Copies of this chain bind each other. A is one copy, B any other.
Amino acid sequence: MTAPLHEARPTGRGRALPDTQQGMRRRNLARVMHTVSAEGPLSRAAVASRIGLTRAAVSTLVDELIRSGLLEELGPERPGRVGRPGSALAVSGHGPAGIGAEVGVDHLAVCAIDLRGEVRARAVRYGTNRGRSPRPVIEELTELVGRIVTEAEHEGLWPAGLAVAVPGLVARDARTVVRAPNLDWHDTDLGALLPAGLPLTVDNEANFGALAELRLGEGTPRDFLHVSAEIGIGAAVVVDGQLLRGTRGFAGELGHVPVRPDGPACRCGGHGCLEQYAGEEAVLRAAGLEPGEDRVGLLAGHASDGDTAVRRALRDAGEALGIALTGAVNLLDPEVVVLGGALAGLAPWLLPSLEAELARRTAGPACPVAISRLGPEGPLLGAAHSVVRAVLDDPAAVAGRG
């Protein structure tokens, strides 16, 4: 069991760069890209001092990244900075683009972002996908992807990869939807249905939502639990800036944590799972409302109008979330819990009972709960960002592909 710790260094996408001169060069290219991405525009000298390499070494790396279209020079730095003037470097707005896609229960969405994280093209199509077989849904999605890629190309970008967010469990092959109960999809290989050519990553929507939070949230720490909901309830565990995936890729199934072990039967086989109390359908049922297409809007509307049945249903859901999160916080000790997806829109009515439950079950200070500003946009943006992050993590892998 004593495997060497340092056999390989995984990158964001799970590729390993070996510990050789060539691997070191590739990692240093990544360090330059990440530094300019996080802090740019920066001069070569500033990059060198930040990553602890010589100015000459950095210049060689920068030249390679400019040739590959990943960095660009903005011309001389503005006066007023300390040190001799140098040409400021920025991440290119005309290089690789990340294509993000989302298969929602009630919509399809696709977007393209550039390496700077700007959304450059976006399309959404509403309509239920529940009970539709995967092929026509993915055909529709492919058509949207084609349209967005064409738009991005008109902007001088080229697609570096496609990442698809789904409301379900995804195998560690990052292609196969093992179980998406609210679509009624099982063991569906999306890789076989999507067009070949673009590097593909399929992942759970909560995981991509967490990635968006990490990249776009303000002050999001590197250890957090991201809880989201569409019809089911999912969570993503982020540890030191990385997703914890689990052995099969199924980590984060907060929706099936037992809240009241003798509670109602759940489709997962369990009893009294969180989803039976705080899933959208359970809340609608408790509130006496019919499930329609815009369920969050419906609940939020009634709650702000003072509908006591809806407010009570949301309060009870918040309490159940608080109980399940107490367990999760005890196990994981995150710095913060972030409520995203549909939960963000319902936070005003969920949060009081949720926080009270967390506080009364915790001896010391309770784990803080934050609301995602990205809300339901998180998974789509996170998917696109995952492609950009893979480019930043190993720029050498895409150099010259454009």
Contact = CB atoms under 8 A, between A and B. Distances in A.
A393 B241 CA distance: 23
A253 B27 contact: no
A269 interface: yes
A290 to B, nearest CB: 28
Contacts of A1: 214-217, 219-220, 222
Given A253-B330, A269-B360, A331-B253, A2 B260 contact: no
A17 to B, nearest CB: 9
Interface stretch (A101-109, A122-130, A332-340): A332-340
A27 to B, nearest CB: 5
A3 B38 contact: yes
B4 A244 contact: no
A221 B12 CA distance: 22
Interface stretch (A59-67, A141-149, A303-311, A321-329): A321-329
Interface in A355-369: 360-363
A323 B323 CA distance: 14
Contact of A363 (B19, B268, B323): B268
A215 B245 CA distance: 23
A322 B167 CA distance: 27
Contacts of A331: 235, 237, 251-254, 257, 327-328, 331-332
Interface stretch (A29-37, A194-202, A280-288): A29-37
Nearest to A324: B327
A258 interface: yes
Say how many copies of this protein the assembly contains. Answer: 2
A191 interface: no
B269 A362 contact: yes
A332 B4 contact: no
A312 interface: no
B247 A333 contact: yes
A6 interface: yes
A74 interface: no
Contacts of A401: none
Contacts of A300: none
Contacts of A259: 258, 261
B333 A251 contact: yes
A79 interface: no
Interface string A258-275: 111100000111110000
Contacts of A239: 239, 244
A246 to B, nearest CB: 2
A353 interface: no
Interface in A29-55: 30-31, 34-35, 37-38, 51-52
A134 interface: no
Contacts of A267: 363
B6 A34 contact: yes
A28 interface: yes
Interface of A: 1-7, 9, 11-12, 18-20, 24, 27-28, 30-31, 34-35, 37-38, 51-52, 214-217, 219-223, 235, 237, 239, 241, 244-254, 256-261, 267-271, 323-324, 326-328, 330-335, 360-363, 392-393
13 contacts: A4-B38, A6-B34, A6-B393, A18-B52, A223-B247, A245-B333, A246-B332, A249-B333, A258-B326, A258-B327, A269-B362, A270-B362, A327-B331
